[in-house]
Amino acid sequence: MGKYSEALTIWEHKIGKIEHKLVPEEGDNLEFLRLKKVAQKNNDETILFKGVGDIYSKMVIRSKPELPEQDKKELRVWIGQNLPLIVNDMMVAFKWTTKEELENLKNQVINQESKKGNPVVVQNVKPLNSLAR
Mean pLDDT of 9-28: 89
85 contacts 15 by C-beta, under 8 angstroms: yes
Q: In percent, how much of the chain has pLDDT > 70?
A: 85
Helix or strand holding residue 19 (H, E): strand 18-22
Q: Cα–Cα distance between 62 and 20 in angstroms, integer?
A: 11
90 contacts 32 by C-beta, under 8 angstroms: yes
Predicted local distance difference test score (pLDDT) of residue 7: 65
Mean pLDDT of 38-42: 93
Helix or strand holding residue 85 (H, E): helix 83-93
Q: Note the pTM of the prediction, 2 decimals.
A: 0.75
Q: What confidence category does residue 79 fall into, taking pLDDT thresholds of 50, 70 and 90?
A: very high
Predicted local distance difference test score (pLDDT) of residue 5: 64
Please determine, for residue 125, whether its predicted confidence score (pLDDT) is greater than 70: no
CA R_g for the chain: 16
Predicted local distance difference test score (pLDDT) of residue 53: 95
Rounded to an integer, what is the distance from CA 84 to the centroid of its chain?
A: 7
Mean pLDDT of 37-43: 92
3-state secondary structure of 97: coil
Number of separate domains in the chain: 1
Phi first, then psi: give them for residue 113, nearest 5 degrees: -65, -35
Residue range of the domain that includes 69: 5-132
Please determine, for residue 127, whether its predicted confidence score (pLDDT) is greater than 70: no
